[in-house]
Amino acid sequence: MNTVIQKLLSIIMSAVMFLSAGPFTGGRSASEASAVANNEFALAGYELTLNILSESYDLQSHKTFDYMSKKNTAFVWPVASLIESAADAYRLFPGSLKLKRYYRDILTNGIDRYLVKDAVIAAPEKEYGGISYYNSSAGGKGDYYYDDNEWVCIQLLLGYSQLKNKDLLSSALRSLEFIWTGWDSALDGGIYWSSAYESKNACSNAPAAIAFLLAYQLTGNEEYLEKGRMIYDWMNSALRENDLFIDNIQVDSGAKNHWKGIYNQATMIYAGSLLYEITGEEEYYNLTAATVRATIPHMFTETQGEDGSAEIKMNSNPIFKAWCVGWLARSYEKFYTVDPERDGSPMEYMAAVLRQELLTKDEDGFYDPFFCSGAKDDENYTEILAQDGVASAFLCTAYYEALLKE
């Protein structure tokens, strides 16, 4: 069978799968449904998300597996990343009953396997009792990490906004109580990374700001807004460097790790966008826009092809994991919604990379987790943190192209 026929059959089968899931119901207008249906990234992201879920999540045991088709239980961070992709897909396809079943189950039964209730938290400056949090391992054994809990909290809040399940909001607000136990006066503020209480990291502060700001939007509780603002301001004073954000600072020595991972930039873009959306204060827009601009050369390389056209490739070093690129697409999309200039160029960079990414689909339905950047890690090809990031990048870019840009 020649390549053209194979590709045609693949497109036909993809369309059948797409339509049979019933994703076009759920309140979308005919024009919106048509825009989503005709977007190449939407279809790719939807299919990939269902593929990941079917290979890595067991609806009977509610277990998540770190690597697809391998029955090893995942840590809570990959579980949160799986929920992220499901949430991104559900936002575009609220009529997909299969997707909704997965989304609801992993957001409740799946994540609750990591929940520790009524714990005592011995933070450096204060002991807290009656706290509930999500442990890194199912069953509550091992260390806890503040960023793990923040990724989960964000998804609980977004899940509440999409599914209208009040229990999700209650769980999220309890999680915020735990997250705040990581804040103290050392280094003039900031939230610790882990139960070792040794460093304060970008990854444990920017998503915390997002969680508190989303909680404010959903509840109107001014305390959440104030805490979100405090965390965001601390990030800018302690970890901002040339409009990007370094990784962490050690509490005892003050030593700084100057690596600028892309997910730390992405989450600060998202947090700054939320603050500008909530307050309308120009300072937050200016800070966030500067970081958006700084991420373009940090993340992308633009060259001129032989025909004179621009060729855009992704830089490998800031990626860390494909999951980070999913967050970059999500943050660019969020910034676009609050940007008075409606500058779509960051999303266009993302779309240019993803058009090449579409060509990397393998026979099992998975994609290059390093986005054609030249990096390679065969061992982690089927890690859910890898494929989830590809799915979210597709889905957030599709949301921009199909429902925001026009």
Confidence (pLDDT) at 305: 76
Phi-psi bin for 45: left (phi > 0), alpha (psi -120 to 50), beta?
A: alpha
| CA distance linking residue 63 with residue 77, whole number of Å | 13
Confidence (pLDDT) at 268: 98
| CA distance linking residue 87 with residue 162, whole number of Å | 8
Whether the CA torsion 221, 223, 226, 228 is positive or negative: it is: negative
pLDDT at 233 over 50: yes
Q: Which of 42-56, 70-84, 165-179, 264-278 has the lowest mean pLDDT?
A: 70-84
pLDDT at 255 over 80: yes
pLDDT-derived band of residue 114, with 50, 70 and 90 as boundaries? very high
Q: What's the pTM?
A: 0.93
Task: Please report the beta strands in 27-153, taking only residues with DSSP state E, as ranges in sequence order.
Answer: 115-122, 127-134
Q: Are the CB atoms for 332 and 346 separated by under 8 Å? A: yes
Angle (CA) 333-397-394 rounded to 5° is 135
Burial annotation 95-133 (CB, 10 A radius, 16+ → b, else e): bbeebbebbbbbbbebbebbbeeebebebeeeeeeebeb
| CA distance linking residue 275 with residue 210, whole number of Å | 9
Confidence (pLDDT) at 26: 59
Phi-psi bin for 263: left (phi > 0), alpha (psi -120 to 50), beta?
A: alpha
Confidence (pLDDT) at 29: 85
pLDDT at 238 over 90: yes
Angle (CA) 113-117-123 rounded to 5° is 115
Nearest to residue 388, comparing CAs of 301, 307, 305, 330?
330
Confidence (pLDDT) at 5: 55
In eight-state DSSP terms, residue 321 is: S
Average pLDDT over residues 27-47: 92
pLDDT at 211 over 60: yes
| CA distance linking residue 164 with residue 323, whole number of Å | 26
Tens digits of per-residue pLDDT, 39-68?
999 999 999 999 999 999 999 999 999 998
Confidence (pLDDT) at 3: 54
pLDDT at 368 over 70: yes
Q: Which of 35-49, 53-67, 124-138, 367-381 has the lowest mean pLDDT?
A: 367-381
Confidence (pLDDT) at 52: 97
The secondary structure of 12-36 as a DSSP string is HHHHHHHHHT-TT-SS--HHHHHHH
| Cα first-last separation, the chain | 40
pLDDT-derived band of residue 2, with 50, 70 and 90 as boundaries? low
| CA distance linking residue 204 with residue 317, whole number of Å | 21
Task: Indicate the average pLDDT of the chain.
Answer: 92
Confidence (pLDDT) at 320: 85
pLDDT at 176 over 50: yes
pLDDT-derived band of residue 16, with 50, 70 and 90 as boundaries? very low
- Cβ-based neighbours of 97, under 8 Å, separated by 6 or more: 21, 22
Confidence (pLDDT) at 21: 41
Tens digits of per-residue pLDDT, 62-98?
999 999 877 789 999 999 999 999 999 999 999 999 9
Confidence (pLDDT) at 307: 80
Average pLDDT over residues 288-303: 96
> Residue 205 in 3-state DSSP?
coil
Q: Are strands 199-201 and 240-241 parallel, antiparallel or unpaired?
A: unpaired
Q: Are strands 310-314 and 300-304 parallel, antiparallel or unpaired?
A: antiparallel
Confidence (pLDDT) at 23: 53
Domains of the chain (ranges, CATH numbers): 3-112+261-404 (1.50.10.20)
Average pLDDT over residues 115-138: 96
Distances (CA, A) of 158 to 4, 39, 111, 148: 41, 24, 14, 16
pLDDT-derived band of residue 17, with 50, 70 and 90 as boundaries? very low
